[in-house]
Amino acid sequence: MGFINRSLITCLIILLVFTNTRPISCEKDDDPMRERYRKWMAKYNRTHKDDNQREKRFQIYKANVELIEAFNAINDDYKLADNKFADITNAEFRKRYMGLKGSSSRVPLLDIKQNEEHSEKAREMLEAVPEKIDWRKKGAVSEVRDQGPCGACWAFSAVAAIEGITKIKSGRMVALSEQELVDCNMIDDGCYGGLMTDAFDFVRLNGGITTQSDYPYQGQQGECKTSKLDHHAATIKGYRNVTVNEQSLLKAVASQPVSVGIDASSMAFQFYTNGVFTGPCGVELNHGVTIVGYDTDGKNKYWIAKNSWGAGWGESGYMRMKRGVEGNLGLCGITTLASYPVV
């Protein structure tokens, strides 16, 4: 404070003294921010068509960084960072990186408030599951992938769940193909959105799904390579929906990785870098991820969510999300569209 006051006063004095000679700006200098932006651009290999584009992106970057720093100064649960999404607006982020089809949640209207009977049942169920689980430690989770600017989150979420149950049941970890789902599952809209349950149905009806290396990810929808459809590296019998409450989700995750829909549209989600995410977020589902475990730290119970925005986002591609929130929907609506494949 003292420093700011003194420099303001100095500035005023300079103004008063030199008003007649030349204009002096008292505005804060942008140069440290421009320098920071230059370093960020180098780190993320950004180039721009022209100076206008560059200036436009710089202004967005600057506004985002200011928001990130203000947020970090007051939030202890989790932190934000100027990650690879730092030069796009939240509206652009929502448009490019979500991808769950709308109007699909299973929230029973009457069930939104938790009742006594429900929590009694929940307590019983709680007793039957381990205190914590992390399927990554059991080799049932493959490396984090990157959907790129293509709304195929639903395919990544479903594939991670199928890889998980395949490893748990057969002992084999096989990286499976999201691209097969994006190209060949005609019920969904490829990069323009889909549902994990449709992906499970596709794999069941097709008799299986091929490997990542046989049908690699392209980041855009292409023609279905029909010759790959009878390459079956993993098969499933179908899928089950999880009842809409956190205890049922807990029980399901204790058995295998589970696909969930969430509301990931907030700026806090866009710039999340580490800690236990506690919101803010709504419950309007727009993104699919896979829950691969749960645990507790000193302060919060949390879910471990595997995302598909590359290993540079969040905690090496993962987010810890607060568990045990009021009501049945969970944080960001995490319980409202949960499902898992059955083999």
Ligand X SMILES: *[C@@H]1O[C@H](CO)[C@@H](O)[C@H](O)[C@H]1NC(C)=O
Spell out a b/e string for 285-296, using b for 16 or more CB atoms within 10 Å of the CB, else e.
bbbbbbbbbbbe
Q: Are 226 and 332 in contact (CB under 8 A)?
A: no
What mask, x for binding ligand X by CB under 6 A, covers residues 223 to 252?
------------------x-----------
The distance of closest approach from Cβ of residue 197 to ligand X in the complex, given in angstroms and rounded to an integer, is 5
69-108 residues near ligand X, rule: CB under 6 A: 104, 106
The distance of closest approach from Cβ of residue 310 to ligand X in the complex, given in angstroms and rounded to an integer, is 9
Residue 208 vs 310, nearer CB to ligand X: 310
197 lines the binding site for ligand X (CB under 6 A): yes
The distance of closest approach from Cβ of residue 120 to ligand X in the complex, given in angstroms and rounded to an integer, is 25
The rounded distance, in Å, linking the Cα atoms of 317 and 292 is: 12
Which is catalytic among the residues 150, 307, 328, 332? 307
The rounded distance, in Å, linking the Cα atoms of 75 and 13 is: 38
Residue 202 vs 302, nearer CB to ligand X: 202
Is the torsion defined by CA of 259, 75, 96, 35 positive or negative?
A: negative
The distance of closest approach from Cβ of residue 118 to ligand X in the complex, given in angstroms and rounded to an integer, is 20
- Whether a cis peptide bond, with omega within 30° of 0, leads into 280 is yes
Find the largest Cα–Cα distance for the chain.
Answer: 83
Residue 99 C-alpha from the chain's centroid: 11
The distance of closest approach from Cβ of residue 195 to ligand X in the complex, given in angstroms and rounded to an integer, is 8
The distance of closest approach from Cβ of residue 83 to ligand X in the complex, given in angstroms and rounded to an integer, is 10
**Bridge partners, residue 151, by sequence:** 192
Residue 181 vs 233, nearer CB to ligand X: 181
The distance of closest approach from Cβ of residue 257 to ligand X in the complex, given in angstroms and rounded to an integer, is 17
**Annotation marks residue 20 as catalytic:** no
**Annotation marks residue 153 as catalytic:** yes
Residue 181 C-alpha from the chain's centroid: 20
Residue 54 vs 84, nearer CB to ligand X: 84
Taking Cα atoms as reference points, which of 105, 150, 190, 154 lies closest to residue 289? 154
User: Identity (one letter) of the amino acid at 304?
Assistant: I
Which is catalytic among the residues 64, 90, 150, 153? 153
**Bridge partners, residue 241, by sequence:** 339
What mask, x for binding ligand X by CB under 6 A, covers residues 143 to 182?
----------------------------------------
44 lines the binding site for ligand X (CB under 6 A): yes
Number of shown-chain residues binding ligand X (CB under 6 A): 6
Residue 19 vs 241, nearer CB to ligand X: 241
Residue 45 vs 52, nearer CB to ligand X: 45
Which is catalytic among the residues 191, 281, 287, 332? 287
220 lines the binding site for ligand X (CB under 6 A): no
Is the torsion defined by CA of 275, 159, 222, 102 positive or negative?
A: negative
**Annotation marks residue 287 as catalytic:** yes
Taking Cα atoms as reference points, which of 284, 273, 220 lies closest to residue 86? 273
Is the torsion defined by CA of 219, 223, 227, 231 positive or negative?
A: positive
- Per DSSP, the three-state class of 259 is strand
Residue 5 vs 45, nearer CB to ligand X: 45
Q: Which of residues 20, 21, 45, 227 is near ligand X by CB under 6 A?
A: 45
Q: Are 159 and 178 in contact (CB under 8 A)?
A: yes
**Bridge partners, residue 208, by sequence:** none
Q: Give the CA distances from residue 157 to residues 38, 72, 168, 312, 340, in Å, rounded to whole numbers and listed in that order.
A: 34, 29, 17, 18, 10
Enzyme catalytic residues: 153, 287, 307
Q: Which parts of this chain interact with ligand X (CB under 6 A)?
A: 44-45, 104, 106, 197, 241
